[in-house]
Amino acid sequence: MRVALVTGTLEFGGGETQLVRLAHELAVRGHTVRIFVLQGGGPLAERVAGYGLGCESWDFDGFRLRQPLHTAATIARAGRSLRRFRPDVVHAYLESAYLLSIPEAWLLRVPVRVSGRRMPGEGQHYRRRLGRSLHRLSVWCSDAIVPNSESVAASAIAVEHVDPAKVHVIENGVDLPAVAADVAAPDPLGIIVANLRPEKNHADLLRALATLAAPPRIRIIGDGAERPALEGLAAELGLAGVVEFAGLVPDAAGCFAEAQFSLLVSRFEGLPNAVLESMAHGVPVVGTAIPGIASLIDDGVDGLLVPPGDVPALAAAIERISADPALRARLGAAARDRMQAYSWERCTQRHLELYQELARHRRRGERGR
């Protein structure tokens, strides 16, 4: 098959990382894959080049109501590039990508059109009628909506009013390293891999650490607009020497090999790669009990869950896991076993089966007319 994968950017992010890896997995299985990016550049571009994948930017910077000619020219450019590639499948990850590319693919009569969903409540932030209309149009033009978790699927059905028959859940893929991390090592290091954005809620983590008499070392991997405020809060709470702001790391998944536990204290998530990667390394996670995280962790079995926004409970969980090497080893081993079900082989095969089934359905429909 000829598969076009569309994303907004090639910045580090869960959806973008998954798309690039899926493109590689499809290509090594003999399919012709091309990545289309609304705005070119970004740190993942080097990974795309290393995989030997074709990549093209549409230089799209949004729908401009006051500059209709600019918007029309961009849409036309995207249409021309898709027409040249002649895809059998257009699969758009993330909201901006499917708003533009899925209606384009419908106009070009691309046989299979798939919209991804990575977070609950997509499409609900639009204040302008144009945004809401484009979102509804992209749903109508999609043959399938592919959420990465059951909670995101439920949101698409309840909030976006997507026909349940169109919804096909395919969870993220993860690599299982050959060797698990040494989580029972003394002087434990905890890491959190998350962009520094409000919904990731790093502030609660810092407040929880500040209540502990002997807080463990914590490495914060990621960057974003919240960094100056969070660094200021860490200094104010006296966490110098406890918290390290490591910034962006190209291979963030590899950082789990050095950790004894990890954290993700978000207010909402789809299916976070950070939790999958931590568990695959055998590193137990302390996470908030929200649907996207709780679907991966059984509290006390393969990780620890705390209520979102409950700083004392978070502090108690950090103290418990950092003080008990045997607990970390038990939780980590169970977490690693659980990740067998999230292999990239399975993830890729499920995508291929969906594409092929939709293509067969399209051909049957055309023969019936």
Q: E strands within 241-339?
A: 243-247, 261-264, 285-288, 303-306
* Closest-CA residue to 11 (of 93, 80, 73): 93
pLDDT of residue 65: 62
CA–CA separation, 260 vs 269, rounded Å? 23
Q: Within a 10 A sphere around the Cβ of 310, how many other Cβ atoms?
A: 16
Q: Which two tokens stand for residue 40?
A: 């070119």
Q: Domain boundaries in the chain?
A: 2-173+343-368, 189-342
Query: In the structure encoding, which two tokens stand for residue 245, read together?
Result: 């702001």
Can you give the pLDDT of all 369 residues of the chain as single tens digits? 999 999 999 988 889 999 999 999 999 999 999 999 998 888 899 999 999 999 999 988 777 666 677 778 888 889 999 999 999 999 999 888 999 999 999 999 999 999 999 888 776 666 667 778 888 999 999 999 999 999 999 999 998 899 999 999 999 999 999 999 999 999 999 999 999 999 999 999 999 999 999 999 999 999 999 999 999 999 999 999 999 999 988 888 889 999 999 999 999 898 999 999 999 999 999 999 999 999 999 999 999 999 999 999 999 999 999 999 999 999 999 999 999 999 999 999 999 999 999 999 888 777 666
Gap between the Cα atoms of 305 and 241, Å rounded = 26
Task: Find out whether 302 and 269 touch, Cβ atoms under 8 Å.
Answer: no
CA atoms within 13 A on the CB side of 10: 24
pLDDT at 134: 85
Q: In the prediction, which pLDDT does 252 show?
A: 83
Q: Which amino acid does the sequence have at 16? A: E
Q: How far apart are CA 43 and CA 41, in angstroms?
A: 7
pLDDT of residue 54: 93
**Level-2 CATH architecture, domain 189-342:** 3-Layer(aba) Sandwich (3.40)
Q: Same CATH topology for 2-173+343-368 and 189-342?
A: yes
CATH of 2-173+343-368, one of 3.40.50.2000, 3.40.50.170, 3.40.50.300, 3.50.50.60: 3.40.50.2000
pLDDT value at position 170? 97
- The pLDDT of residue 257 is 95
Q: What's residue 363's pLDDT?
A: 83
pLDDT of residue 249: 87
pLDDT of residue 334: 98
